[in-house]
Amino acid sequence: MSCFDNIDKARTPAHVAVIMDGNGRWAAKRGNSRIFGHEQGVEAVRNTIKAAAKAGVKFLTLYAFSTENWNRPRFEVEALMSLLVNVVKSEADELDKNNVRLKIIGDLNSLPKKVKRETESIVEKLSENTGLTVLMALSYSSKWEIINAVKSIATDVKKGKILPDDISQELFDNYLSTANIPDPELMIRTSGERRLSNFLLWQLAYAELYFTPKLWPDFTEEDFYEAICNFQNRERRFGMTSEQLKKTN
237: left (phi over 0), alpha (psi -120 to 50) or beta: alpha
One of 4, 14, 33, 42 touching ligand FPP (CB under 6 A) = 42
The CA–CA distances, whole Å, from 216 to 223, 224, 230, 240 equal: 11, 11, 19, 35
CB of 46 to ligand FPP, least distance (A): 9
CB of 247 to ligand FPP, least distance (A): 42
The answer to whether residue 69 forms part of the interface with ligand FPP (CB under 6 A) is yes
Per-residue mark of binding to ligand FPP, 1-40 (x: CB under 6 A): -------------------xxxxxx--------x---x--
CA–CA separation, 97 and 222 (whole Å): 23
- The answer to whether 119 and 85 are in contact (CB under 8 A) is yes
Q: Is 218 helix (H, G, I), strand (E, B) or coil?
A: helix
The answer to whether residue 214 forms part of the interface with ligand FPP (CB under 6 A) is no
User: DSSP alpha helices (H): ranges in 56-181?
Assistant: 74-97, 113-125, 142-158, 169-174
The answer to whether residue 87 forms part of the interface with ligand FPP (CB under 6 A) is yes
One of 64, 104, 115, 187 touching ligand FPP (CB under 6 A) = 64
Establish whether 69 is a catalytic residue. Answer: yes
Only one of the segments 52-60, 82-90, 165-173, 230-238 lies at the binding site for ligand FPP (rule: CB under 6 A); that segment is: 82-90
Residue numbers 91-150 binding ligand FPP by CB under 6 A: 136
By beta carbon distance, the residue nearest ligand FPP is: 24
Kindly state the number of chain residues that form the binding site for ligand FPP, as judged by CB under 6 A.
20
Establish whether 21 is a catalytic residue. Answer: yes
Q: Is the CB of 102 or the CB of 153 nearer to ligand FPP? A: 102
Q: Is the CB of 82 or the CB of 230 nearer to ligand FPP? A: 82
User: DSSP alpha helices (H): ranges in 10-73?
Assistant: 23-29, 34-55
CA–CA separation, 152 and 148 (whole Å): 6
Per-residue mark of binding to ligand FPP, 178-207 (x: CB under 6 A): -------------x----------------
- Exposure string of 196-225, with b = 16+ CB inside 10 Å and e = fewer, is bebbbeebbeebbebbbebbbbbbebebbb
The CA–CA distances, whole Å, from 138 to 25, 112, 113, 205, 206 equal: 21, 11, 13, 21, 23
218 Cβ contact partners less than 8 Å away, ≥ 6 residues apart: 26, 44
Q: Out of 5, 6, 8, 21, which one is annotated catalytic? A: 21
Residues near ligand FPP (CB under 6 A) are 20-25, 34, 38, 41-42, 45, 62, 64, 69, 83-84, 87, 136, 191, 216
Catalytically active residues, by annotation: 21, 69
